[in-house]
Amino acid sequence: MTSKRLLEQPRAGDSTEGREPVAGKASKTNTLQEGASRSFEISPNGHYFTSTREGHYIHKKFACGREEDEQSSGGVLKHSCPAHRLILNGTHVEAWSPVRGPGEPGCRLPSPETPHPHTSSIIPVPHDRRPSGLADKEVMAATVLTILSTSPLVLNPSSSASGADLAGKGWKESLSASYSSSTSGNWSWDASDQSVPSTPSPPLSNDPGKSFLLSSQSDDNIEETESTHFLFEDPIPRKRKNSMKVMFKCLWKNCEKVLSTSSGIQRHIRTIHLGRNGDSDYSDGEEDFYYSEIEVNMDTLSEGLSNLTPTSPTTSGPAPVFPVLTCDASRSEPARMIHTPLSQSAPSTLCHIRTDHAYQATSPVSIPSMPSDPPHSEDRISVSWQSPPVIYKGLPGPMTQIRTVSIGEKRQPVNHTTVSKTHTNTTSTSTSKPTTGTRKPRGEAKKCRKVYGMEKRDLWCTACRWKKACQRFTD
């Protein structure tokens, strides 16, 4: 088990990488070291970064690792063992230990397989992320303050109390997750981490899927989320994750299997879904992709399950506790439904977007040729919401072409729609008027004016006569 963990760890950061380690099973120690070094490499700032973001990011990666054990043992905030710190961080150890006494449950956590000294050595990554000592906390606080100053969310410390805003709803969920009934803990962001990206496996749960999407689409989103968590945490008492238990849920389609150990779930996947010999220890790591870790707050969970009443839980957020489980479950569900294993949910979304963009880009082009054709313009209109063309503002072509249609009134509506939407995102400056920038280049074809000359103006097409785009000699 340990060896596996070790091996797996590297993967946490990168799914592709993850597999390599497997081969190296033979030498645990070496593997470990390698894994550790790798993790460092992968997450450049890992240990040394005080910045929340960095840490968080790293943490995420780590969390992604299939190895729940790792997390439990030292990984996530909850279960960090001082020992790990010592090995990895050296100086940090001391600072850390006060926070997390060796006696803490977190250290013990490790499942039967877990806590080997070796394992601890691997774990380092997570530790780094966390703010360990007071100094770290201070840094964190500073970071949080900074974030708060810029973020609107921060402005609403009430989140914990009121949190009435719909907009905040999304977060609340996450928050609720983080704010389990458990008492004070370490940094909430850790919790958020867990809730967010926990699983590395692509197809998996929503969380992972979302996170993946986010990551692929834009890191900012993730960061925002993280920052948000941070913010909240400040005002709110820190929750302790010790009570959290990591469960492994099989993500295989229509399979709800949940096991308490990664090895168990892997075995399950290997035997049941992959049709491999369960007994054989051999694993290429593929199983890792088919299950996700789920954190369960044992304290609240039991209560919550027994009575669905949110009131019971100890501290601040009884209700939130439930959400944790629910969220995970619900999230994972959709992801599974939509995506097959190994396929990331994100990609699909991305693809969709891209398609849209492409479509948008093309549609405008076609327009120019049929300026007089209202129907076409209409068609465009339907798509118009995609306005993105405006985004491409840099390109005069599209815009101009759209205008070309101008002869028909319809054209304007289309433009308008596009503009309005686009502007929302962009600046007000670009605005209502397409203005000059959008103007299309002059058509190559000769126009009535040139063909007939000023003398025969009566031969011109009406458009030319009206100083509109020539209808007779279109480009």
Partner DNA sequence: GATGCCGGGTC
Partner DNA sequence: GACCCGGCATC
Least distance (Å) from DNA to the CB of residue 359?
23
Question: Helices 169-178 and 219-233 sit at what angle, rounded to 10 degrees?
Answer: 60
What's the closest the beta carbon of residue 369 comes to DNA, in angstroms? 12
* Cβ 176 to DNA shortest distance, Å: 50
| Cα distances (angstroms) measured from residue 257 to each of 12, 157, 170, 245, 331 | 22, 39, 27, 16, 15
Nearer to DNA, 352 or 439 (CB): 439
Would you call 295 helix, strand, or coil by DSSP? strand
**Nearer CB in complex with DNA: 81/407:** 407
Q: Based on CB atoms, which residue is closest to DNA, 18 or 371?
A: 371
Q: Which residue is it, tokens 């490790």?
A: 110
> Residues of 104-119 as b/e, b for ≥16 C-beta within 10 angstroms?
bebbebbbebbbbebb
Among 133, 4, 124, 135, residue whose Cα is nearest residue 58: 124
Q: In angstroms, rounded to a whole number, what is the distance separating the alpha carbons of residues 456 and 448?
A: 9
Buried b (16+ CB within 10 A) or exposed e, 52-83: bbbbbbbbbbbbbbbbbbbbbbbbbbbbbbbb
Reading phi first (left if > 0) and then psi (alpha if -120 to 50, else beta), residue 467 is in left
| Whole-angstrom distance, CA of residue 42 vs CA of residue 59 | 11
Between 428 and 442, name the residue whose CB sits nearer to DNA: 442
Q: Smallest gap, in angstroms, from Cβ of residue 174 to DNA?
A: 45
Binding site for DNA (CB under 7 A): 396, 400, 403-404, 406-407, 409, 412, 433-436, 438-443, 446-450, 454, 462, 464-470, 475
In angstroms, how far is the first alpha carbon of the chain from the final one?
71
Nearer to DNA, 279 or 455 (CB): 455
Nearer to DNA, 254 or 467 (CB): 467
Judged by beta carbon, residue 122 or residue 464, the one nearer DNA is 464
Q: How far is the CB of 419 from DNA (least distance, A)?
A: 10
3-state SS, residue 239: strand
Q: What is the CA radius of gyration of the chain?
A: 29
Residue 315 or residue 412: which is nearer to DNA going by CB?
412
Query: Smallest distance from the beta carbon of 396 to DNA, in angstroms?
Result: 6
Q: How far, in Å, CA of 406 to CA of 386, rounded?
A: 19
Smallest gap from residue 409 Cβ to DNA (A): 5
What is the closest distance, in whole angstroms, from the C-beta atom of residue 364 to DNA in the complex?
A: 13
> Residue 74 and residue 236: Cα distance in Å, rounded?
24
Strand partners, 294: 247
Question: Least distance from C-beta 57 to DNA, angstroms?
Answer: 44
Q: Which is nearer to DNA, 311 or 467 (CB)?
A: 467
